[in-house]
Amino acid sequence: MASGTALIYDEEMTSHKLLWKDPVCDIEVPERLSSSYEQLKCYHLVERCVCVPAREGSEEEILLVHSSEHLEVAKSTQTMNEEELKRVSGNYDAFFFHPSTYRCARLAVGASLQLVDSVMSGKVCNGMALVRPPGHHSQRNAANGFCLFNNVAIAAEYAKRKYSLQRILIVDWDVHHGQGMQYIFEEDPSVLYFSWHRYEHQEFWPSLKESDYDAVGLGRGKGSNINLPWNKVGMGNSDYLAAFFHVLLPMAFEFDPELVLVSSGYDSGIGDPEGQMNATPEVFAHLTHFLMQLANGKLCVILEGGYHLKSLSESVCMTVKTLLGDPVPQITGEMEPCLSAIESIQNVRAAHKPYWKCLMYEDTSFLQNLSTKSHLLEKANTNPSAQHESKMINKDEKVKVEMFLELHMKNILLPVPPIKTAATIGCKASACLLPLSICVVKEMDLNEVKALVSAFYADLVKEYETLLSLGSMLAVLDKILTKQVCNGIAESSTASASVAVALQHSLRFGFQRVLCIFVGDMEIIPNIEDGKILVIHICEKQQSEKTNSKHYISLNWKEGTEGNDFFSAVFGFILPVAYSYQANLTVIAVGPNRSLGINGISLLFGLLRGLAESRILAMIENTEINLMQIVAKALAGDSTPDFGVYVPPTQEKVHKLKILRDQLQHEWKMLQCSVKNGISGN
Ligand code: Q9C
Ligand code: ZN
């Protein structure tokens, strides 16, 4: 598998600038690019990337998407004087020309194509291109919304042809609707386009009917255009995550792209004067991490908007850091999507139900304006930097967010453990980890184990084999708890005994919330009384007398035989519960009689690395050598695990998940994806 992250930046793209007064365009400044790059240097991220030079996109490449008339107009502006430039600019909605604009726009196209080539050729695994002017509003025959050529659309067409790709996913997390992108691909089933955007019931620019959730694509492209309109400002981290869990990710994994492109606007981040949203920089690490699980990790992130320089550059850094494989910082804020976000999510799910197998058995139905237009001016979430003052002039608001972010980044960017993965010498996973950055630790002394364990599980210390397993697990766990390593793997003769001890030991060490996902038969049910542990037990049948509660959830699931049908359980249930809980450590254990195949288990590991700052203890029953090696490689970041072919869930399974969701969504609020069942007042 390819490794490494490409970074493409060319200072020349800062020469495109506004020469006259225009309050609409004056936010699209050269410093957007230079300050993002400076911040990347500041975090020492540039030196960790493979720096790839930009190039000019050729005329032929631009014509993959644009008309020759459009190209000729753009070309003709190179030699114009200010007055002429102003006149041509006036022909478009929100665009300005500078004599260097054409050259910069060609570099922006070429930089995007260089990124596609670097990833598709296997030179790197993923990467980011910092470009100006942006692209996603630009249309076949028109500049629009600061965009001249549609960089990402050209990149998709180029990738389709040069590498004969049949499925490309474009994720547009910019706060504006990339209507240009929609027009270009709406009849094309080979490009799945997802965009969320500030909409406010069509009040917000570009104020188009076709930006609403019912624009699903045309002709053969029906179902391949996903619009998620935000009808309120103030959307935050949990709204964005809910959109990924309940809309984008199920469809993206069913689509199974060969390449993922991101129209990466950061005007959807906190402090942005255009977006007016509340999402903090670390949310982009999570979004990036999710998308890295698709297309074997082939991910190209291409800059679009973002107008609060500090918010923009911190968010760019979070994205690049995640592409490089650093642990994902813990998400902050209350984990509950707002009513308006849930309404939008429900509507887009209903609109797409006819086109996606993952939605086939979901009982989605449309909902009209519960939190109606009359509340338009109400914010969905309060800005964390402005919680105590409601009225502020723009400039104060900007400085306030700057100060908030300065402190916020210090709080969330904790030191990265020097080593990724720990295992003990005896552990069968060690063999395949040896060439990697693994820390081989010595088993804990058995007398020490006895002393530790007899305090809470006296019975366990009688069996010699169990004692050995505990000694090996505790050695690995201690490395994780003391943050010398990020994750670790241990084998056990009785996984449930090791898990029970691991959970108690972590709490005694001072961890406040531990998430345990247990796959297979569990002989010892850990004590979850005080809420410091959350167990999700995945097994074929309800095993124990123990009934579901907030902190012990039994998910009866037997993986189908034809492929991986576990996606719906992971996106629709496990991730929402896990993100609601916000654990500081995740324990994933595989015991005897597991009801999930290797693909399903790989999916769990891939996605749960986004939680608890990527701290994971893997505990595998010692008979599972093959599984142990796959998990070990995944933890060390050596390979993107293979999740197997997508198989839709049966009606029975969808029903099972619905019952669990109805039971638990009042406790674990990220589960909410519709406003029925008394969540709203209506
Ligand atoms: N009254 C990008 O973020 N606003 N473009 C126009 C007209 C234009 C944003 C307002 C915003 C364009 C790439
Ligand atoms: Zn934008």
- Give the Å distance between the CA of 37 and the centre of ligand 2: 19
- Give the Å distance between the CA of 316 and the centre of ligand 2: 15
- Nearest residue (CA) to ligand 1, atom 3: 305
User: Residue 430's pLDDT is what?
Assistant: 67
DSSP β-ladder status, 191-198 and 168-172: parallel
274 CA: nearest ligand 1 atom: 11
Q: Please, which pLDDT band fits residue 419 given cuts at 50, 70 and 90?
A: confident
Considering its fold, how many domains does the chain have in total? 2
Let me know whether 435 and 379 are in one domain. no
- Give the Å distance between the CA of 602 and the centre of ligand 1: 41
User: Residue 315's pLDDT is what?
Assistant: 98
Angle in degrees, CA 631, 634, 638, rounded to 5:
135
CA dist 400 to 36, 310, 394, 397, Å? 19, 11, 10, 5
**672 in any annotated domain:** no
Rounded CA-CA distance 202/568 in Å is 32
- Which of 348, 382, 412 terminates a domain? The answer is 412
Q: Please, which pLDDT band fits residue 414 given cuts at 50, 70 and 90?
A: confident
- Nearest residue (CA) to ligand 1, atom 13: 305
Q: Please, which pLDDT band fits residue 372 given cuts at 50, 70 and 90?
A: low
**677 in any annotated domain:** no
Let me know whether 396 and 499 are in one domain. no
Of all ligands present, the nearest one to the C-alpha of 136 is 1
Contact 594, 676 (CB under 8 A): no
Pocket test for ligand 1, best of 92, 146, 204 (most atoms within 8 A of CB): 146
Of all ligands present, the nearest one to the C-alpha of 173 is 2
Let me know whether 475 and 430 are in one domain. yes
Mean pLDDT of 488-502: 93
175 CA: nearest ligand 1 atom: 3
User: Residue 679's pLDDT is what?
Assistant: 44
**20 in any annotated domain:** no
User: Residue 458's pLDDT is what?
Assistant: 80
- Give the Å distance between the CA of 273 and the centre of ligand 2: 11
**436-452 pLDDT tens trace:** 667 888 899 999 999 88
User: Residue 507's pLDDT is what?
Assistant: 95
**541 in any annotated domain:** yes
Contact 89, 73 (CB under 8 A): no
Residue 259, helix vs strand vs coil? strand
Let me know whether 175 and 232 are in one domain. yes
Of all ligands present, the nearest one to the C-alpha of 144 is 1
Q: Does 634 have pLDDT greater than 90?
A: no
Which of 16, 98, 136, 137 is labelled catalytic?
137
- Give the Å distance between the CA of 94 and the centre of ligand 1: 6
Chain-centroid distance, C-alpha 382: 23
User: Residue 434's pLDDT is what?
Assistant: 58
Contact 134, 147 (CB under 8 A): yes
144 CA: nearest ligand 1 atom: 12
Q: Does 375 have pLDDT greater than 80?
A: no
176 CA: nearest ligand 1 atom: 3
- Which of 384, 412, 440 terminates a domain? The answer is 412
Told to judge if 137 belongs to the known catalytic residues of this protein, a careful annotator would answer: yes
Pocket test for ligand 1, best of 89, 274, 277 (most atoms within 8 A of CB): 274
Mean pLDDT of 577-604: 95
Q: Does 564 have pLDDT greater than 50?
A: yes
**50-94 pLDDT tens trace:** 999 999 999 999 999 999 999 999 999 999 999 999 999 999 999
Q: Does 198 have pLDDT greater than 70?
A: yes
145 CA: nearest ligand 1 atom: 12
- Give the Å distance between the CA of 137 and the centre of ligand 1: 9
Residues with CB under 6 A from ligand 1: 24, 94, 134, 137, 145-147, 174, 176, 205, 265, 267, 304-305
User: Residue 420's pLDDT is what?
Assistant: 87
**651-665 pLDDT tens trace:** 999 999 999 999 999
**302-330 pLDDT tens trace:** 999 999 999 999 999 999 999 999 999 99
- Which of 385, 412, 439 terminates a domain? The answer is 412
Let me know whether 440 and 407 are in one domain. no
Token readout for 224 is 């391949």
Q: Which of 30-44, 87-101, 539-553 has the lowest mean pLDDT?
A: 539-553
305 CA: nearest ligand 1 atom: 3
- Nearest residue (CA) to ligand 1, atom 5: 145
Pocket test for ligand 1, best of 24, 150, 207 (most atoms within 8 A of CB): 24
**167-185 pLDDT tens trace:** 999 999 999 999 999 999 9
Give me the chain's average pLDDT, please: 92
Let me know whether 399 and 504 are in one domain. no
Which has the closest alpha carbon to 190: 149, 140, 225, 228?
A: 225
Let me know whether 263 and 202 are in one domain. yes
Q: Does 147 have pLDDT greater than 50?
A: yes
- Give the Å distance between the CA of 175 and the centre of ligand 2: 5
Sheet containing 225-230, strands listed edge to edge, beginning at the edge strand earlier in sequence: 50-51, 5-9, 126-130, 299-303, 259-264, 168-172, 191-198, 225-230
- Nearest residue (CA) to ligand 1, atom 2: 305
Torsion of CA 569, 570, 574, 579, to 10 degrees: -140
Rounded CA-CA distance 212/167 in Å is 24
Let me know whether 557 and 608 are in one domain. yes
Of all ligands present, the nearest one to the C-alpha of 180 is 1
- Nearest residue (CA) to ligand 1, atom 9: 145
- Nearest residue (CA) to ligand 1, atom 11: 145
- Give the Å distance between the CA of 248 and the centre of ligand 2: 19
- Give the Å distance between the CA of 205 and the centre of ligand 1: 7
Which has the closest alpha carbon to 571: 643, 636, 623, 497?
A: 643
User: Residue 439's pLDDT is what?
Assistant: 83
User: Residue 390's pLDDT is what?
Assistant: 44
Mean pLDDT of 43-49: 98
Which has the closest alpha carbon to 316: 302, 326, 299?
A: 302
**62 in any annotated domain:** no
Q: Does 237 have pLDDT greater than 60?
A: yes
174 CA: nearest ligand 1 atom: 3
Let me know whether 466 and 497 are in one domain. yes
**660 in any annotated domain:** no
**351 in any annotated domain:** yes
Let me know whether 348 and 487 are in one domain. no
Q: Does 389 have pLDDT greater than 50?
A: no
CATH no. for residue 324?
Answer: 3.40.800.20
Plot region of 295 (φ>0 → left; ψ -120 to 50 → alpha; else → beta): left
- Nearest residue (CA) to ligand 1, atom 8: 145
**203 in any annotated domain:** yes
Mean pLDDT of 229-239: 98
**248-276 pLDDT tens trace:** 999 999 999 999 999 999 999 999 999 99
Let me know whether 221 and 365 are in one domain. yes
- Nearest residue (CA) to ligand 1, atom 12: 145
Q: Please, which pLDDT band fits residue 681 given cuts at 50, 70 and 90?
A: very low
Q: Does 402 have pLDDT greater than 60?
A: yes
Let me know whether 448 and 320 are in one domain. no
Range of the domain at 36: 29-44+125-131+147-412
Of all ligands present, the nearest one to the C-alpha of 181 is 1
